[in-house]
Structure 1
């Protein structure tokens, strides 16, 4: 039966308030009913009302009768926290009807989804006009993009010709206008890059360098679009992704390279974007293949992700990788057994040279990739009173780390070597998980 840690459960919280509320609901007296089977745990929480709460352990996935729009809600988190802290207080047995029917419906929905994907792929393959229609649509979009890119390139030349010294806070409006025109040209990804460059305007002492670097990547994109017919399949896919050209998930599942492995969950990040979308990034490491993967999902507020991921667990799964010159993003085709962090040996270590070489190869193949997974072994953590740094070989990496998390990591290391996994953005590392002989740490919104 799968078991979880309190840290990994709290890492699933949608925000700090939910994690705090869940901790306040872990008194056994608040749960007159607690039950468990190999597949799920369930309970009834007594508050202003009596809520029926259940967790499918294979995900984990949550369901609760409370009216909360957060997912997981505080009751689901509290139930799983109780299970993580003391499984013996759960009565073993067959689940009640309200749990067994939910588990059966989840299985049925999964089967219907797989069947629908197969039917959709078969319909596309059987339609003799589908390829022709797709080609005409692509040609029409490329025509609009070419016009937008010509305008963008002239705008970039104007910025350089005038010099960065002429920029003021009022310049943001003109840069936003350029971004809006790229959206009209069906290149929303390029528009996002313009806004990303604008975000660095007059921001900190290094802003000229940061702005020029971001504008340089836009110029590189313009050159790539102009010579797109000479690019190979992987580079072409990266260029379309850069422009915000969607790729059908069914196409990825049907055509992409699939990799089966025991995947360690290096870390999970959930953030709210400017367009109110909630983005979740799950970073994976293939224990046998050594391959890294990013499972990227988005939902609107009030919706739920199809699958939950427990940081530092290992999942036997098959992934389908999106086409790319440096494949990283992937879709989950199938998941099987899940091994909690406490029950697994650590994966083989890698040297700093190997980690940086992998990053360098991805950047060389796809210079527009903004985040890279890093596994830093045998490191030490230090603080100068204002910021934390991770000393790894002969490099001191600046960390994106809240003060409380920094002290928690220092306490975990006890001054001894630490293994840290996180996201590298080119200038700093965001730690997501860490472990030492004393235990492990998992980033959470708490």
Structure 2
């Protein structure tokens, strides 16, 4: 089975820099794959294994059948191919092969790629070269332009009318709930919300449907749920009102409203080429779909960007990047106020392990940055920030990140308290200041990656410690 992600595999002169063990394990789609891959990270199961000077890694892994599994990885993507039946990206054999490669040249020496690996690598390079020319001819339509603009406009108008009808119906349901009292929400159970969410799906407003489903879980969330339900109802009412009055909004806010109700938009503007450091990668389940979030920071542009990848029907998202690596690539941003999302375009050369942390600020500055982003997008759950010279310290029943110079602190989100990454952060700090990247939101700070303060030289970089 082919496990791959597209990209521009242009090669650099000289051998590719080998990743660290931690960077490889950060690619695992789940804990089970991480454990299984670790068992295959030794030389025993492998034969005819080697690596090329352009970033390719290959090998034959002994399995339960007579024929070994053929596994090849293009680290410039990264992209994976394995003959095993796994539907995970990457599979345990690819993880094991990369761990073997990370062990050094004695474990996986430089060699000439075999025919079965070379055929896939060459085909991948040819497809990337062909794809790099699509949509760039100014004399013709791009790949994103609709074939019939008039028909596309009519479809958009029909969908907008459906969303408007759905928003009006939702407004009436929210008014009925508040008039009848919030206690009715607990008595009605989840069925009321699921039926309302289904109506929003019929109205082609998946964003409204998702927020309605979140309302249904609040009455069972413990003490204080009426206040939380009222707050979320207010935000949903604000989104409804924004859609119904979108013609009166500033363009940035109007784009945020369209995005929040579920209208998709294509990335726009010129691509930004930079050396992007992979700050963090993590998955969040959403029903039958798993969303993978990859945070990047541009060394020259100073931008923080979010890549999204989705997996459905038991498949892991296909985008996987080594945390801490620096990737020379182009990103095209999506429109929308308060949005950091971008689309990954052409990549150049192979990832390197030198990735310095972004410049950071104080906890007070992080809260101010989140507040500034909320002005145009009040439904923003969190905002990417980097905290510089902070110390993790216990606070009541939880933890907080305190400014080493004093004056401000940020509580760690309750969800992060149960993760092993919190204790990795505490161990890395040892009571001394650290640099931490994460998401600052109304629930607190969600730490995603950290760096020791004694290694923040931007010329040499420092090892990124994943916290999730």
Deviation at 1:432, TM superposition (A): 1.8
Q: Give 1:261's match in structure 2, choosing from 274, 280, 283.
A: 274
User: Does structure 2 conserve the Cα–Cα contact (< 8 Å) formed by 1:169 and 1:202?
Assistant: no
Q: Would you say 1:359 and 2:373 are equivalent positions?
A: no
Deviation at 1:115, TM superposition (A): 4.4
CA distance in 2 between counterparts of 1:119 and 1:170 reads 57
Q: Give 1:4's match in structure 2, choosing from 12, 19, 22.
A: 19
Secondary structure of the residue that 1:310 maps to in structure 2?
coil
Residue 411 of structure 2 is matched in structure 1 by 397
Deviation at 1:268, TM superposition (A): 0.7
Q: Would you say 1:204 and 2:222 are equivalent positions?
A: yes
Q: Which stretch shifts more, 434-443 or 375-384?
A: 434-443
Compute the TM-score of the two structures, normalised by the length of structure 1. 0.89
Secondary structure of the residue that 2:324 maps to in structure 1?
coil
Q: Give 2:290's match in structure 1, choosing from 261, 278, 281.
A: 278
User: Does structure 1 conserve the Cα–Cα contact (< 8 Å) formed by 2:71 and 2:82?
Assistant: yes
RMSD: 2.7
Q: Write out per-residue CA displacement over residues 90-110 of structure 1, whole angstroms, 9 at most, x where no aligned residue.
A: 221221111111111112222
CA distance in 2 between counterparts of 1:385 and 1:232 reads 43
Q: Give 1:45's match in structure 2, choosing from 61, 74, 85.
A: 61
Q: Which stretch shifts more, 118-127 or 286-295?
A: 118-127
Residue 115 of structure 2 is matched in structure 1 by 97
Deviation at 1:356, TM superposition (A): 2.8
CA distance in 2 between counterparts of 1:409 and 1:325 reads 32
Q: Would you say 1:373 and 2:373 are equivalent positions?
A: no
User: Does structure 1 conserve the Cα–Cα contact (< 8 Å) formed by 2:412 and 2:447?
Assistant: no
CA distance in 2 between counterparts of 1:124 and 1:140 reads 25
Q: Which stretch shifts more, 16-25 or 374-383?
A: 374-383
User: Which runs of structure 2 are paired with 1:18-417 in the superposition (5 Å)?
Assistant: 18-38=33-53, 39-49=55-65, 50-118=68-136, 122-123=140-141, 130-247=148-265, 249=266, 252=267, 255-274=268-287, 276-301=288-313, 303=315, 305=317, 307-341=319-353, 343-383=354-394, 387-392=398-403, 394-399=408-413, 400-417=416-433
Q: Which consecutive residues of structure 1, in runs of 5 or more, have no partner in the other structure?
A: none
Q: Which stretch shifts more, 66-75 or 166-175?
A: 166-175
Secondary structure of the residue that 2:375 maps to in structure 1?
helix
Question: Which structure features the higher share of helix residues?
Answer: 1
Secondary structure of the residue that 2:310 maps to in structure 1?
strand
Residue 427 of structure 1 is matched in structure 2 by 443
CA distance in 2 between counterparts of 1:409 and 1:7 reads 15
CA distance in 1 between counterparts of 2:89 and 2:379 reads 32
- Structure 1's 129 and 407: CA in aligned 2 closer, same or farther, altered over 3 A? closer
Secondary structure of the residue that 2:44 maps to in structure 1?
helix
CA distance in 2 between counterparts of 1:285 and 1:154 reads 43
Deviation at 1:431, TM superposition (A): 2.1
Deviation at 1:385, TM superposition (A): 9.2
CA distance in 2 between counterparts of 1:423 and 1:225 reads 27
- Structure 1's 256 and 306: CA in aligned 2 closer, same or farther, altered over 3 A? farther
Residue 29 of structure 2 is matched in structure 1 by 14
Q: Which stretch shifts more, 47-56 or 118-127?
A: 118-127
Q: Write out per-residue CA displacement over residues 129-159 of structure 1, whole angstroms, 9 at most, x where no aligned residue.
A: 8332222222222222222111111111122
CA distance in 2 between counterparts of 1:64 and 1:23 reads 17
- Structure 1's 306 and 16: CA in aligned 2 closer, same or farther, altered over 3 A? closer
Q: Would you say 1:442 and 2:452 are equivalent positions?
A: no
Compute the TM-score of the two structures, normalised by the length of structure 2. 0.85
User: Does structure 2 conserve the Cα–Cα contact (< 8 Å) formed by 1:59 and 1:307?
Assistant: no
- Structure 1's 107 and 305: CA in aligned 2 closer, same or farther, altered over 3 A? farther
Q: Which stretch shifts more, 63-72 or 380-389?
A: 380-389
Deviation at 1:17, TM superposition (A): 1.0
User: Does structure 2 conserve the Cα–Cα contact (< 8 Å) formed by 1:190 and 1:242?
Assistant: yes
User: Does structure 2 conserve the Cα–Cα contact (< 8 Å) formed by 1:278 and 1:301?
Assistant: no
